């Protein structure tokens, strides 16, 4: 994981004396922290076991030769200014402790980050290539985010045009994610990257094969059709 992300995922990096980890969590003793992690892990396990959508992603990764084990590939950790992330160095999804108050929130985090993990599995994904990052962020936002309420919040053009508002929301969310990953890159250059890869990545809907225009029902339909595409 890139060094500048230390402020987002302090547990991913060796702590320094008086550093970010200490400042963030000095009010929690170790036993309280451990209880928080265990509660988070129980919720993660329950969400994965109950979710057709996540099981589809797991089966799709297996098709491409990537086994997924919850205990190995999902961890609950302390974070700052984010709710989760995917660390390609350890091949782990990080669920942030502060974001684990509800199972619906955990579900949202896992869906988003498992799409990144799926992309990393099926392609020669380079996390030093901003075009690759932008593409995966577009895909994750396209499939898991940008509902009607999300589109209103992003205040895109053509607020009564589904296609326009959805595409604008996806681009805007992807831009923000790439910006946090590469803050040293100018906004102008980041928008060029997002717009360059958008046409292909917006239409790449694997492994679901559809956008969730009818909500979760569409993604559950994808799960029922998984055998047609060789997914377990």
Strands 74-77 and 84-87, sheet pairing: unpaired
Closest to 70 (Cα-Cα) out of 45, 102, 35, 103? 45
Token duo for residue 143: 């499939």
User: By the 8 A CB rule, do 142 and 156 touch?
Assistant: no
Neighbours of 116 (CB within 10 A): 22
* 53 a catalytic residue: no
Is the bond preceding 189 in cis, omega lying within 30 degrees of 0?
no
Listed in sequence order, the residues at least 6 apart from 210 whose beta carbon sits closer than 8 Å to its beta carbon are: 218, 219, 221, 222
**What is the total residue count of the chain?**
232
Contact by Cβ (8 Å): 136, 119: yes
The residue from 17, 53, 77, 113 that is catalytic is: 113
Q: What is the largest CA-CA distance in the chain?
A: 54
16-42 burial: b if 16+ Cβ within 10 Å, else e: eeeebbeebbeeeeeeeeeebbeebbe
Residue 207 preceded by cis peptide, ω within 30:
yes
Could you give the residue numbers annotated as active site? 113
């Amino acid at each position: 994981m890139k060094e500048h992300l230390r402020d987002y995922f302090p547990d991913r990096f060796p702590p320094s004396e008086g550093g970010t980890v200490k400042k963030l969590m000095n009010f929690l003793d170790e036993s309280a922290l451990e209880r928080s992690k265990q509660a988070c892990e129980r919720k993660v396990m329950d969400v994965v076991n109950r979710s057709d959508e996540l099981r589809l992603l797991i089966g799709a990764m297996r098709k491409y030769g990537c086994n997924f084990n919850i205990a190995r590939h999902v961890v609950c950790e302390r974070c700052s200014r984010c709710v989760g992330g995917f660390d390609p160095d350890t091949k782990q999804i990080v669920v942030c402790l502060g974001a684990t108050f509800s199972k619906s929130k955990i579900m949202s985090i896992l869906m988003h980050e498992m799409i990144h993990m799926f992309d990393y599995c099926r392609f020669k994904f380079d996390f030093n290539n901003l075009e690759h990052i932008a593409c995966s962020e577009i895909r994750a936002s396209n499939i898991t985010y940008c509902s009607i309420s999300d589109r209103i919040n992003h205040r895109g053009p053509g607020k009564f045009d589904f296609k326009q508002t959805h595409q604008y929301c996806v681009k805007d969310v992807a831009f923000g994610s790439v910006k946090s990953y590469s803050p040293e890159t100018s906004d102008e250059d980041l928008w060029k990257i997002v717009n360059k890869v958008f046409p292909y990545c917006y239409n790449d809907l694997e492994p679901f094969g559809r956008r969730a225009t009818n909500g979760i029902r569409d993604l559950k339909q994808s799960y029922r059709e998984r055998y047609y595409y060789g997914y377990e």
